[in-house]
Amino acid sequence: MTKFRLLAVALLALVALSACNTVSGFGKDVKKVGEVMTREADEAKD
């Protein structure tokens, strides 16, 4: 049963780490969209 628990913990850690990467990537995408919108708004004012 110990091997099963170790495998379960390892899989859970792997899923958690990949989720962090996904959230981080999503945050970068949202930041980039915000930068583009700000730049376009500034250009439209001029």
Q: What is the pLDDT of residues 1-45, one digit of tens each?
A: 688 888 889 888 888 878 777 878 888 888 998 999 998 888 888
Q: Is the pTM of this model over 0.85?
A: no
The domain tally of the chain equals 1
Q: Which pair of structure tokens corresponds to residue 17?
A: 């780490």
Which residue type, as a one-letter code, is found at position 34? G
Burial (CB < 10 A; 0-12, 13-18, 19+), residue 33, is exposed
Which residue type, as a one-letter code, is found at position 39? R
The domain of 21 spans 1-46
